[in-house]
Structure 1
Amino acid sequence: MKKFIAIVGSNSKSSTNRNLLKYMQNHFKDEADIELAEIKDLPIFKKSPEKTVPEYAIELANKIEAADGVIIGTPEYDHSIPAALSSALAWLSYGQHPFVDKPVMITGASYGSLGSSRAQAQLRQILDSPEIKARIMPSSEFLLGHSLQAFDDDGNLKDKDTIKQLDGLFADFLKFVGISEQLGGATAANMEEARNFNWEDNK
């Protein structure tokens, strides 16, 4: 059984993205072991001369490295991902690079009708950056709109078509992870490039 880390891309205590990832954790429990990971305990990213990284960021990076893949649930604020998620990804690419060639599935829930489409597009750009180099599942968006009304009292998605779409995307992600396991030829070089990359030397 595959092991996935599902990152709650919000520091809100009542995030519907957390609800979505919890639903996936339970709904797909016979297909994968999904562990939820919070970012709310991480401080805002700040460089230091010693390149000090918070202990929790190191712990989270180790979990990502050990996992077969990562699922990220992002809200959308002002057409972008939350500052807390951006900061968390900065910590996870500062002196450590657990995302290099790691399969990633992006999901998103928002209160409006469009889900988190613009935030997901931005997140793809960030995950494709030289310091992160994640392997993002292509041609896939799971956009949960009107997320406050999307779940029943037991935390289950109510709309059958939405569930069917999520089932299909998750099945694709399992296949994508399997394919990714056969594509490690450049991983060592990609890791070295990520470690050596420095924006200050690339003006």
Structure 2
Amino acid sequence: MNKFIAIVGSNSKKSTNRELLKYMKKHFQATAEIELLEIKDLSLYKKSADEYVPQEALDMAKKIEASDGVIIATPEYDHSIPAVLSSALAWLSYGIHPFVDKPVMITGASYGSLGSSRAQSQLRQILDSPELKARIMPSSEFLLGHSLQAFDDDGNLKDEKVVKQLDGLFQDFVQFVNISKQLNNANEVNKQKAEEFSWEKD
């Protein structure tokens, strides 16, 4: 059984993105083991002369590296991902590179009708950066709009069409992960390139 890390891309105590990941953990428990990771306790990213990385980020990196894949749920603020998620990804690419060639599924929930579509597009660009080099599942947007009304009292998604779409995308992700395990011939070189990359070099 695959083991996935699910990152809650918000520091809100009542995030519907957390609700979505909790639902996925329960709903897909027969298919995969999903562990939720919170980023709300990470300090804001800041470069230092000694290249200090918080222990919380190091612990997260170990779990990501040991996983078969990562699911990220992001809200959308002003057509972009939250600052807390951007900061967490910066820590997770500062001297450590757990995302290199790691299969990633992007999801998102928002109160409006668009379901974090622009934030997801931005997140794809970030994950594709030289310092992260994640392997993002293509053509796979899961956009949960009107998320405050999307769940019942037991935390289940109410709309059967939405559940069917999520089921299909998750099955695709499992297949994507299994295929990705056979596509790691350049992984060692890719990690080395991520470690050596610097925007300051010519």
TM-score, with structure 2 as normaliser:
0.99
Identity %: 75
After superposition, the C-alpha distances for 1:33-61 in whole angstroms (9 at most, x for unaligned) are 00000000001100001100000000000
Q: How far 1:85 moved relative to its partner?
A: 0.1
CA distance in 2, matches of 1:50, 1:30: 44
* 1:41 correspondence with 2:41: yes
CA distance in 2, matches of 1:51, 1:71: 27
Q: Which residue of 2 aligns with 1:120?
A: 120
Q: Which residue of 2 aligns with 1:196?
A: 196
Which residue type is aligned with residue 199 of structure 1? W
- Structure 1 residue runs of 5 or longer lacking an equivalent are none
CA distance in 2, matches of 1:83, 1:91: 12
After superposition, the C-alpha distances for 1:17-44 in whole angstroms (9 at most, x for unaligned) are 0000000000000000000000000011
Which residue type is aligned with residue 197 of structure 2? F
CA distance in 1, matches of 2:125, 2:79: 14
* 1:10 correspondence with 2:7: no
Which residue type is aligned with residue 100 of structure 1? V
CA distance in 2, matches of 1:137, 1:26: 22
Q: Which residue of 2 aligns with 1:99?
A: 99
3-state SS of 1:179 partner:
helix
Q: Which residue of 2 aligns with 1:180?
A: 180
CA distance in 2, matches of 1:20, 1:38: 14
Which residue type is aligned with residue 155 of structure 1? G
Q: How far 1:201 moved relative to its partner?
A: 1.4
CA distance in 1, matches of 2:187, 2:116: 30
* 1:135 correspondence with 2:135: yes
TM-score, with structure 1 as normaliser:
0.99
CA distance in 1, matches of 2:73, 2:47: 26
CA distance in 1, matches of 2:44, 2:125: 20
Which residue type is aligned with residue 71 of structure 2? I
3-state SS of 1:131 partner:
coil
CA distance in 1, matches of 2:9, 2:199: 25
Q: Which residue of 2 aligns with 1:68?
A: 68
After superposition, the C-alpha distances for 1:38-88 in whole angstroms (9 at most, x for unaligned) are 000001100001100000000000000000000000000000000000000
Aligned length: 202
3-state SS of 1:199 partner:
coil
